[in-house]
Amino acid sequence: MDAFTKLTAVAAPLPMANVDTDKIIPARFLKTIKRTGLGVHLLDTLRYDESGAERPDFVLNREPYRKAQILIAHENFGCGSSREHAPWALRDFGIRCVIAPDFADIFFNNSFKNGILLIRLPRAVCDTLMGDAGMGGNARLTVDLARQVVVRPNGEEIAFEIDPFRKHLLLNGLDDIGQTLQHAPQIESYETRRRAEKPWLPSIAI
């Protein structure tokens, strides 16, 4: 996984609540066996009309937001399906950070595993940042993970909370399977104990 340290970038405003993962990447695009190439279908029905042409009004079809690396949204972002294709699509488009009042649980987990930083900030603060984002290329936001601040274009710093373990993995670009495998002896002793305590647990054989 790529490390996330500090990012200064254009932020795209998406003032919608309950942006579900079907909206982020519709099911018809899940028939892939790769993680890459989904960016073109990010928010597909919002970005394209029935004929497949870009909707010129949609934020990600306008300059400078075509190159946005930060997304600002409203409540319950990423709700619904567990598809990791949603963060893959965001990442493939170029988004490295999403700021919203709250996120759905599974999407939250999935995003961090793909090097995307999700920041929870109160709705009023999100709306302020939405205003900054609306100013386009002259108003880049800076996200500094080490210091846990978002820096507005006017220099004001907004602090955010993040789980220290997630921060550690993200700052160092660590693969958490590697982290877990450091506990392999404990997993083995758990399995031994479990076999003794719950011998009835079935094995599957087809």
Residues that bind another protein (CB under 8 A): 15-18, 20, 22-23, 26-28, 30-35, 45, 50, 74-76, 79-84, 87, 102, 104-106, 109-110, 113-114, 163-165, 176-177, 179-181, 183-184, 186-187, 190-191, 194, 198-206
Q: 155 vs 199, which CB is nearer to another protein?
A: 199
Q: 159 vs 201, which CB is nearer to another protein?
A: 201
Cβ neighbours for 199, distance < 8 A, ≥ 6 positions apart: none
> CB of 175 within 8 A of CB of 6?
no
CB of residue 93 vs another protein: minimum separation in angstroms?
Answer: 18
> CB of 111 within 8 A of CB of 87?
yes
CB of residue 167 vs another protein: minimum separation in angstroms?
Answer: 10
Q: Is 61 left (phi over 0), alpha (psi -120 to 50) or beta?
A: alpha
CB of residue 155 vs another protein: minimum separation in angstroms?
Answer: 29
Q: 61 vs 76, which CB is nearer to another protein?
A: 76
Q: How far is 54 from 50, CA to CA, in rounded Å?
A: 10
CB of residue 147 vs another protein: minimum separation in angstroms?
Answer: 19
Q: How far is 21 from 84, CA to CA, in rounded Å?
A: 9
Q: 84 vs 132, which CB is nearer to another protein?
A: 84
Token pair in block for residue 46: 């919002």
Q: 39 vs 80, which CB is nearer to another protein?
A: 80
Residues in the chain: 206
Show the beta-strand stretches assigned E in the chain.
6-9, 11-14, 70-73, 97-100, 117-120, 141-144, 149-151, 157-159
CB of residue 169 vs another protein: minimum separation in angstroms?
Answer: 9
